[in-house]
Structure 1
Amino acid sequence: MAKDEATITVDSPSGQRNLRISSPGRVLWPQVGLTKLDLARYIVDVGDAFLAANGNRPVTLQRFGGTIEGEQFFSKNPPRGAPDFVRSVMVVYPSGRSHPQLVIDEIAAAVWAVQMNTVVFHPWASRAGNPDNPDQLRIDLDPQPGTGFDDAVPAALELRSVLSEAGLESFIKTSGNRGLHVFAPIEPSHEFLEVRHAVIAAARELERRMPDKVTTAWWKEERGTRIFVDFNQANRDRTMAGAYSPRALPGATVSCPIGWDELEHVTTKDFTITTVPQRLKATGDPWAEMHAKPGTIGVLLKWWERDVSDGLGELPFPPDFPKMPGEPMRVQPSRARNKE
């Protein structure tokens, strides 16, 4: 019986690589009928931009056993039998434990990840050569119930102004779902906790300017119908879907970089694995020059210290993190009140 597989030929620094795709007709996105082979071809089509955004970084793979509606798991270290062009780098996790993490150095490695049933790629904010010091400041604008993409747009525009005042040039992409991701390239001279504090400082400034529209409240019961500025995405080993990464959502949407001049004229549904390759060919990559002139977080850290002096200290960390210095109690406010 003939094997159900296809072969994709990919250019690499070492010449062409022929990559096997097993079960190429397996449908990943039932609602739109897109398959594993469609995904592999998409990755090749957007290869240069995908690699520029996600390459040379520790990366976590979000893998699925069947369709995007089925079981999933996250893979961090290279599995046994990984080809020799798939490497890893030792990273330190919040627990203090060290472990090898996958790194994508060429697009063939991303296609191999698709063969391993990866749909979503989650790169770190730091490079493989310096994993402890991020070279990207990332801010996730997360619409809460009662809000949506359109509500995130004015928050993103004001956030751009906030970061500009702090001396940072910012870039934006759709999350692929309901929100927006704002990135600012920075010099990799501060470790994750300091970058987190810079993000919190920017988030608090944005909240002061848009108190009815934006919140930094960690507890959902306190957020209301506002855009949550998810500062905890700035932590070590916390990632978001990478630029040009597909999402495991019904329409096969992509987390897509856009120009600031496009922001008020697009929707998440505009960017899918069927539309983004042609978009790249027609308009180019809005993030192509992102790291040409990295900034520094010095101004934001001064804002952080100012806020600390004014009584605004550390905010809660994710529940799986060890207790951090200065962190408030990890107790839902309503529960804390009930215990009083």
Structure 2
Amino acid sequence: MAQASAPAVEIEVDSRVVRVSSPDRVYFPDHGWTKLDLVDYYLAVGDGIVNALLERPCMLHRFPKGLSGDKVHQKRVPSGAPPWLETVRVTFPRYDRTADELCVTELAAVVWAVQMSTVEFHPWNSRRADVEKPDEWRIDLDPGPECDFATVRRVARVAEEVLAELGATGFPKTSGGSGMHVYVRIAPDHGFHDVRRAALAFAREVERRAPDDVTTTWWRKDRDPAKLFVDYNQNARDHTIAAAYSVRGAPDGRVSTPIRWDEVDDVDPHDFTIATVPGRFAEIGDLHAGIDEAVFDLVPLLEWADRDEHEGAEPPVDPD
């Protein structure tokens, strides 16, 4: 006979109460971490995860049976959600559809999503005030299958150098996978197409400075597997990556974790898990807390894009 699940628990989150069913369901079998452990993790980094998701359309990566089961990519908030939960409507012109996606404005919304079996949070790089105008430029350092993490560290340093010359402030984090991300806050003055053009111009400059380590070749089959792809396409409309402080669906409960630039040379992404990040957060706080005060104007990068295209470089490939 199957063992009965523990009774639901009620979690008080500020002025809300969120009912968490099956709190003892094991989500990470290798460690025995449960749904309630996941709730406790997100409560521990509450200010950080809310800051990362605030006012953004958010796709949920759900594991209804834990990591041992299937993953569900969910855009639409289901019917029956609590009346206080906020959403933002986004359109998908190619399919002539809309979706009311989760729009986090408070920590209780994050706990509600975990109750709905969410492990990973993947927000847009725009906010609901104007979902067509990104305010976050995302630099995704994506290593090829034969590219080691030492290369990721080296390329991150090159990206830091280029950002400094541009006068832009980058906020690095581990991806929770094999790569690294750097976020830059931008003024929401440009559409997705121009943000991608700017991101590609930046990637090409990084490639010029580190040609042995970096590729901007679009088609995966044409890339050197030992090189790192600076994935400018993560700035395309409706393309999302795991938020800062989002847990990843990996057996060790890894977390996409903000780091300082002086940590880049020695960082090991395996060190950041749901067991270790709460203590780090309690000690140093949210390293991305100041991102909204460091707004960069994309115009210089768009001028680089114009230059590259004038010299014969291809514009960004359509992601569709």
TM-score by length of 2: 0.95
Amino acid at match of 2:301: L
1:252 to partner: Cα distance:
0.1
Separation of aligned partners in 2, 1:247 and 1:293 = 27
Match runs of 1:1-340 below 5 Å: 4-11=7-14, 15=15, 17-93=16-92, 95=94, 97-224=97-224, 225-318=226-319, 321=320
User: Structure 2 regions of 5+ residues with no counterpart?
Assistant: none
1:298 to partner: Cα distance:
0.3
Identity, % of aligned pairs? 44
What SS does structure 2 have at the residue aligned with 1:257? coil
* TM-aligned CA distance change 1:78 to 1:145, over 3 Å: same
Determine if contact 1:59/1:102 at 8 Å carries over to the other structure. yes
Point out the more displaced range, 172-181 or 275-284: 275-284
TM-score by length of 1: 0.89
Determine if contact 1:196/1:235 at 8 Å carries over to the other structure. yes
1:54 to partner: Cα distance:
1.1
Amino acid at match of 2:204: R
1:86 to partner: Cα distance:
1.3
What SS does structure 2 have at the residue aligned with 1:23? coil
Task: Give per-residue Cα distances to partners, 1:268-320, cap 9 Å, x unaligned.
Answer: 011111111110111121111111130110000000000000100223233xx
Task: Give per-residue Cα distances to partners, 1:200-226, cap 9 Å, x unaligned.
Answer: 000011111111100011222222110
User: Structure 1 regions of 5+ residues with no counterpart?
Assistant: 322-340
* TM-aligned CA distance change 1:258 to 1:315, over 3 Å: same
Separation of aligned partners in 2, 1:217 and 1:187 = 28
Determine if contact 1:152/1:180 at 8 Å carries over to the other structure. yes
1:94 to partner: Cα distance:
5.5
Separation of aligned partners in 2, 1:57 and 1:315 = 24
Determine if contact 1:149/1:180 at 8 Å carries over to the other structure. no
* TM-aligned CA distance change 1:286 to 1:230, over 3 Å: same
Instruction: Give the root-mean-square deviation of aligned CA atoms.
Output: 1.5
Determine if contact 2:6/2:24 at 8 Å carries over to the other structure. no
